[in-house]
Amino acid sequence: MKFEEMSRLKAEELRKQETVRILSLETSCDETAAAVIENGRRIVSNVVFSQIDLHELYGGVVPEIASRAHMEACDRVIDEALKGAGMKLGEIDALAVTKGPGLVGALLTGVNCMKGLAFAAGKPLVGVNHIEGHVSANYLTHPELEPPFLCLVVSGGHSHLVEVADYGVYRLIGQTADDAAGEAFDKAARVLGLPYPGGPRIDALAEEGNPDAFALPKPKTAGRYDYSFSGLKTAFINTVHGIEQRGEPLPKADLAASFRKAVCSELMDKAERVILEQAAGDGKGAFAMAGGVSANRELRRTAQAMCSRRKVKLYMPEIPLCTDNGAMIGSAAYYRLMRGEVADLRMNAEPALRLL
């Protein structure tokens, strides 16, 4: 039987099965990560191998180094995920892999690895959108969460406000016109001389600083629910250069705290606006956050304050599930598998894949 036909038939059977276990792999950027997930909601095992040490020297992710490191780590990370679950590959029902968006070479490594494994083991394979994975991290932390809900997706490449109308059904409400929130944090960190990745470092430093020490401009955007962070970033760079030109020492903690506050209040102001103005069409009283930046302490506090003010229920992935991991890919894959959306062997990496 051809792989495509086998996949389709097995997926059909799995829809009737009580417990479905997926082995998932994520290699879109600089984390090689694998997990075993049950019914899209329960983490059986979750292994993340970070390449940060390899890229730190260069101040950012070097694509060629990332691809090579994924290639070297894939098998080991998958073995560890299976071992952690106490399972053999034969006990896994389906496989899943991130197909985009991300670095093409990094994605290709994962896609090829899982295509080979699926073919050899005769298991159906699901290709997953990385951003949908981030959204799905919420299903792992909050097994009671179901669509519809409003979701702020904030990662290294995205600052989106989306309505999750149903599993796999999204409506774009707002997006950034320029830099993503994570990108803005990383650039601001670089200006302060902090090592890569900058977001978590700015966050930690900001905890000791005064968020009102420096006034930064409120971004202007064309759309009511859109974002823009490049003006804020330029204003921040100018402030830092001004201090340096005066020969004064940089009050790094105050600068980090002021920048973090400006970004977080902008992110949350627009989310609050949607909640106030789109009461009927939005997430019916549920607000979720997803992506690396949702690990930010100030953003989590600001979200809590906004949601209690507006009497909206807040959902956030636990911190280790905010940044890239394999578990979120396994969760997203489950709902695609239940709809019979399986990949064939022509599946390719899609570096510019969109959520909607």
- Residues making contact with ligand KG4 (CB under 6 A): 29, 134, 155-157, 182, 185-186, 197-200, 203, 291-293, 295-296, 323-324
Tell me if 324 contacts Zn ion by CB under 5 A.
yes
CA–CA separation, 324 and 327 (whole Å): 9
Task: State how far the alpha carbon of 251 is from the alpha carbons of 208, 209, 235, in Å.
Answer: 11, 8, 16
Could you tell me the smallest distance in angstroms from the CB atom of residue 266 to ligand KG4?
Answer: 14
**Tokens coding 190:** 């670089």
Could you tell me the smallest distance in angstroms from the CB atom of residue 51 to ligand KG4?
Answer: 12
Q: Minimal CA–CA distance to 339: which of 99, 93, 118, 168? A: 168
Q: Which alpha helices (DSSP H) does 28-62 contain, by range?
A: 52-56
Could you tell me the smallest distance in angstroms from the CB atom of residue 10 to ligand KG4?
Answer: 30
Instruction: Decide: helix, strand or coil at residue 185.
Output: helix
CA–CA separation, 188 and 231 (whole Å): 12
Partner whose binding site includes residue 153, from Zn ion, ligand KG4, none (CB under 5 to 8 Å by kind): none
Beta bridge partners of 159: 154
Could you tell me the smallest distance in angstroms from the CB atom of residue 292 to ligand KG4?
Answer: 2
Closest CB to ligand KG4 among residues 132, 203: 203
- Among the residue ranges 74-82, 83-91, 225-233, 319-327, the one whose residues contact Zn ion (CB under 5 A): 319-327
Partner whose binding site includes residue 272, from ligand KG4, Zn ion, none (CB under 5 to 8 Å by kind): none
Q: Minimal CA–CA distance to 142: which of 41, 38, 293? A: 41
Would you say 57 and 100 are in contact if contact means Cβ atoms under 8 Å apart?
no
Partner whose binding site includes residue 157, from ligand KG4, Zn ion, none (CB under 5 to 8 Å by kind): ligand KG4
Partner whose binding site includes residue 168, from Zn ion, ligand KG4, none (CB under 5 to 8 Å by kind): none
Could you tell me the smallest distance in angstroms from the CB atom of residue 323 to Zn ion?
Answer: 7
Task: State how far the alpha carbon of 215 is from the alpha carbons of 186, 200, 211, 255, in Å.
Answer: 20, 22, 9, 10
Site string for Zn ion, 238-277 (x = CB under 5 A): ----------------------------------------
Closest CB to Zn ion among residues 28, 302: 28
Among 46, 51, 155, 331, binds Zn ion (CB under 5 A): 155
Would you say 288 and 135 are in contact if contact means Cβ atoms under 8 Å apart?
yes
Closest CB to ligand KG4 among residues 3, 196: 196
| Cis peptide preceding 101, ω within 30 of 0 | yes
Tell me if 26 contacts Zn ion by CB under 5 A.
no
Closest CB to ligand KG4 among residues 54, 87: 54
Closest CB to ligand KG4 among residues 168, 292: 292
Instruction: Decide: helix, strand or coil at residue 301.
Output: helix
Helical packing angle, 252-277 and 198-206, nearest 10°? 100
**Tokens coding 257:** 């705290």
Could you tell me the smallest distance in angstroms from the CB atom of residue 73 to ligand KG4?
Answer: 17
CA–CA separation, 173 and 135 (whole Å): 15
Closest CB to ligand KG4 among residues 228, 296: 296
Could you tell me the smallest distance in angstroms from the CB atom of residue 36 to Zn ion?
Answer: 20
Tell me if 31 contacts Zn ion by CB under 5 A.
no
Strands (E) in 118-211, as ranges, are 125-129, 149-154, 159-166, 169-175
Q: Where does this chain bind Zn ion (CB under 5 A)?
A: 155, 324
